[in-house]
Amino acid sequence: MGEDMPLLFERTADDVAIVTLNRRHAVNSVSFEMWEAFATALDTLERETPARGLVVTGAGGFFCIGGDVKLPPARGEGALAPAQRLEMGQRIVARLRRLPMPVIAAVEGGAYGIGWALALSADLVFAAGDAKFGAPFIDYGTVPDGGAAWLLERQLGRYRAAELILSGRTIAADEAERMGLVSRIVAKGTALGEATAFLGATGKGNRKATELAKRLIHGAQESSLEGSHALELAYCAICQTGDEVARARDAFIAQAKARRAPAAE
């Protein structure tokens, strides 16, 4: 893996995909090149058989400091050209949320600005105990980007989201967990390993059910209960036509029989 590449993409032996933000010299702040490489990785994941899941993490013990303020965010001549880098980031966030596999943000060090939005777009956030989170957009004379305001409002409600955004304050991992913004706190230096192990065991081989469960979770945020019920029916019907349900049922029966069997003399 090249140290000079702004983003690294790999797939483990357990078929877990890992995307690593790799601008260590700039605390993994985002750049045009990083977003372009991220888009290419997502192209691969979207057109192939879904992996067990995707872990997004940062190199060098830090997730992402946000946008690189030393680099101009503009590109091209369009009406919104001054914010072209932001628009590319928005596309990545939206694609991550739709990806037909579980996505975990493995956060070491900290996630700020659009880096936090990137973490919030995941299905799960595994954070090191000393990790920090913040959305200091106003401090830099701009507004929340990458969907940060929308994502925080959905997770927290209007009042708590507004407090975080308007104050721009940094919160520690334990407060983020209490707020429901972190799924699991892990030991420093283990976030990637814990996330990879979690996805490697997800579904116990029931890949189709895992994929459809992710699609159901994503759809639930946008639909009514009736709409979610309709998706459940369709997805359950799909599962019943495959072999995963039969294999899971046979495994359950075998385990139950083993528990009831008398101990050998």
Q: Mean per-residue pLDDT for 33-40?
A: 97
pLDDT for 46 beyond 80? yes
Lowest mean pLDDT, pick from 75-84, 149-158, 182-191, 226-235: 75-84
Lowest mean pLDDT, pick from 83-87, 121-125, 144-148: 83-87
The answer to whether residues 57 and 91 touch, using CB atoms and an 8 Å cutoff, is: no
Q: Mean per-residue pLDDT for 115-129?
A: 97
Question: If pLDDT is split at 50, 70 and 90, which confidence band does 204 have?
Answer: low
pLDDT at 109: 98
Helices (H) and strands (E) in the chain, counts: 10, 9
pLDDT for 257 beyond 90? no
Looking from the CA of 178 toward its CB, the CA atoms found within 13 Å total 5
% of the chain with per-residue pLDDT over 70: 91
SS3 labels along 62-130: CCECCECCCCCCCCCCCCCHHHHHHHHHHHHHHHHHHCCCCEEEEECCEEECHHHHHHHCCCEEEEECC
pLDDT at 251: 67
Average per-residue pLDDT in the chain? 89
Question: Does the model's pTM come out above 0.75?
Answer: yes
pLDDT for 222 beyond 50? yes
Question: For helices 225-240 and 207-220, what crossing angle results, to 10°?
Answer: 170
CA angle 245, 247, 250 (to 5 degrees): 110
pLDDT at 99: 94
Q: Mean per-residue pLDDT for 164-175?
A: 97
pLDDT at 1: 45
More confident residue, 82 or 97: 97
pLDDT at 265: 45
pLDDT for 116 beyond 90? yes
Question: If pLDDT is split at 50, 70 and 90, which confidence band does 192 have?
Answer: very high
Q: Mean per-residue pLDDT for 234-239?
A: 77
Question: If pLDDT is split at 50, 70 and 90, which confidence band does 126 have?
Answer: very high
Structural domains of the chain ordered from first start? 7-203 (3.90.226.10), 204-260 (no CATH)
DSSP letter for 31, please.
-
Question: If pLDDT is split at 50, 70 and 90, which confidence band does 108 have?
Answer: very high
Q: Mean per-residue pLDDT for 124-153?
A: 95
> What does 198-259 look like in DSSP terms, one character per residue?
HHHHGGGG-HHHHHHHHHHHHHHTTS-HHHHHHHHHHHHHHHHTSSHHHHHHHHHHHHHHHH
